[in-house]
């Protein structure tokens, strides 16, 4: 069956772009157009260039079969999908509200309980 309704994607941000965050992006991209999610932002302490490199070249999973590009200091693209890269260690400063984020994937390993999130 073909879905003829147009639904807004669920906007996702990833706090921490280490093993968990990068694997989430790989899984999301593997879903292709079937995914109801749209990863729009990652919080990565090193910025866009290291984020793109570590996503493309994983020491455990190998090279990611995707077109990963650095657009500027705060933006990468993965197969043409734009992802903003922010760098802030204080979660209260992250732009989740301004970006109208629906779901945050907590991948830092620092926040371990509900109140901390």
pLDDT in tens, 24-72: 999 999 998 789 999 999 999 999 999 999 999 999 999 999 999 999 9
What pLDDT, on the 0 to 100 scale, is given for residue 117? 57
- Give the Å distances, CA to CA, from 106 to 65, 67, 116: 25, 25, 10
Do residues 11 and 104 make contact, with C-beta atoms less than 8 angstroms apart?
no
CATH superfamily assigned to domain 10-106:
NAD(P)-binding Rossmann-like Domain (3.40.50.720)
* Global confidence as pTM: 0.87
């Amino acid at each position: 069956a073909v879905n003829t309704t147009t639904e807004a994607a669920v906007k996702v941000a990833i706090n921490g772009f280490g093993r968990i965050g990068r694997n989430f992006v790989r899984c999301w991209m593997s879903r292709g157009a079937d995914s109801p999610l749209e990863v729009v932002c990652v919080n990565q302490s090193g910025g866009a260039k290291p984020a793109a490199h570590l996503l493309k070249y994983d020491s455990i999973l190998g090279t990611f079969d995707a077109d990963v590009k650095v657009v500027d200091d705060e933006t990468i693209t993965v197969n043409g999908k734009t992802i903003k890269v922010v760098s802030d260690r204080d979660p209260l400063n992250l732009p989740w509200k301004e970006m109208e984020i629906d779901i945050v994937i907590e991948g830092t390993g620092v926040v371990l309980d509900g109140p901390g999130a």
